[in-house]
Structure 1
Amino acid sequence: MTRTVGRQDRSELILDPAEALRRGRALDAMLAGLHAARPRGITRATHRTMNQADDARQLEIARRLNGPR
């Protein structure tokens, strides 16, 4: 099932491998600065605490990606 939203052609398939690689590298370069720093070394904590830390890190990345509201 295909759903078209808006008038712009949004074909996600790039048939030229060189063009796909170029676009992929450009996207990787754009998104590289969004990652929040992970703590180094060994961390011991409960599963719940580790999940909370992961959630906070993902929230920080989302805020960097979407900008302040």
Structure 2
Amino acid sequence: MNEKSPLRDPVHYVLRAILVLCGALIVLEITVAYLRTYWAWTVGIGGTAVAIWLAVAIVRWAWSRRK
């Protein structure tokens, strides 16, 4: 039996890293392709969430200053 760890061999380590990187890039490309149609909605919802969070923070700050 081979007791050697597969990560100890530099060639296998580099090949595995390249495969993981290629897989991540493919997944990222697919995700961007699918989200491209919803990009405006994503930005709009994110902007609305930030605006609501900012309004709540300002109101809480104003209320804490009154007391």
The TM-score with structure 1 as length reference comes to 0.32
Q: Which has the higher helix share?
A: 2
Which has the larger Rg? 2
Q: Which has the higher contact order (CA 8 A, sep 6+)?
A: 1
The TM-score with structure 2 as length reference comes to 0.33
